[in-house]
Structure 1
Amino acid sequence: MQLFSFNGRSPKVDPTAFVAPTATLIGDVTIEAGASVWFGAILRADDAPIVVREGANVQDGSVLHVPPGVPVDVGPGATIAHMCLIHGANIGAEALIGNHSTVLDGAVIGARSLIAAGSTVLAGTKIPDGVLVTGAPAVVKGPIAGTGAEVWINANPPYYRNLAQRYREGMKPVELGG
């Protein structure tokens, strides 16, 4: 992992977290117990903190950034899927932000809500708990309870906690050569 201090603030990573060697954490970033930050993710906390709460995961290629004074908080067990942009937003517990989605300044995503792949949540939008959201701009489609989307909400947190543990224990560099 690449860790950089900025403006007198340095990243803090719990020893039980997994941060991939190609992830980059800059400034006031906190990674809590059992959380994971995957390959190529960039978390840049210039002027406000970024916190990835216990058991949350930030997947490959995602970017988390803060505008001045607007933190990013990724709730416990939440998922930021591949290639997402989270900019100054609050992501609720066990929420799932689908691949290649964008969540902008001051948006609040409710607990156990699912933002569908490719969606854009506009600045200042408040998404309630337990709903499916899709589109650009994103709109609430209805409750998740009892739908196929609920499977993803339930399965993702334990899967990524387990996968992170497997990587902590089993990932080894490989020497190429001849």
Structure 2
Amino acid sequence: MPCYSIDGVVPVVDPTAHVHPSAVLIGDVTVGPGCYIGPCASLRGDFGRITMLAGANVQDSCVVHSFPNREVLIEENGHIGHGAVLHGCTVRRDALVGMNAVVMDDAEIGAESIVAACAFVPSGTRLPDRSLAVGAPARLLRTLSDGDVARKREGTEVYHALAQRCLHTLREVQPLAAPPADRPPLNLPDLRPLTAAKR
């Protein structure tokens, strides 16, 4: 993976975490146990600290950054969807930030909450625990049920497993010219999409 020190500060990656080779880590970044960082994610700890606690994931093409003397904190099992942008904010344990959402400086996403895809969470916003926030600017739509939280956690656990799958089986290869006749399908659990949480 492209990994860079700045001002003598070197990123830290726990050996049980997976950081995709195309992701970029710069400076004051700490990636905790069992974390997953997807392809083309950029975690720039060149101004403020970035900390991912155990089991958190930052998916493909996400950008994580901050102002000087601020920290981005993603607590245990924080789940950051494809293309999301986090800037100087806090994502509490078991919260999910949806695809292409933006969470701005000094915002705090409460534990076990969901920020919907494409939502914009303005600076200083405080979402309570178990919130479902939607829109731009984000507004509280409702409180999540136990079932909603359980379904969200299923998706996060898939990323726990993906981190381990990648550590054990992900290898750079040359593509085949044609699929072999005995090509096996991926053997994965049957997951419900998060849209099931709305029903």
Class of the TM-score when normalised by the shorter of the 2 chains: over 0.9
| Superposed displacement of residue 130, structure 1 | 0.6
Unaligned runs of 5+ in 2: 178-199
| Superposed displacement of residue 175, structure 1 | 2.8
**2:99, 2:118 within 8 Å by CA — same for their partners in 1?**
yes
Query: CA offsets, 1:41-85, max 9 Å, x none?
Result: 000011221001100000000000011111100010010000000
For residue 163 of structure 1, give the secondary structure of its aligned residue in structure 2: helix
TM-score (structure 1 length as normaliser): 0.95
* Aligned ranges 1:33-112 → 2 under 5 Å: 33-112=33-112
Counterpart Cα distance in 1 of 2:143 and 2:119? 17
Counterpart Cα distance in 1 of 2:110 and 2:63? 20
Counterpart Cα distance in 1 of 2:151 and 2:121? 20
Unaligned runs of 5+ in 1: none
Larger radius of gyration: 2
> Paired residue for 1:12?
12
> Paired residue for 1:21?
21
TM-score (structure 2 length as normaliser): 0.85
| Superposed displacement of residue 5, structure 1 | 0.3
Counterpart Cα distance in 1 of 2:128 and 2:152? 15
CA separation of 1:177 and 1:9: change in aligned 2, threshold 3 A: same
Matched, 1:30 2:23: no
| Superposed displacement of residue 156, structure 1 | 2.0
> Paired residue for 2:154?
155
Identity across matched positions, percent: 37
> Paired residue for 1:172?
171
Counterpart Cα distance in 1 of 2:100 and 2:168? 29
| Superposed displacement of residue 172, structure 1 | 1.2
For residue 163 of structure 2, give the secondary structure of its aligned residue in structure 1: helix
More strand by share: 1
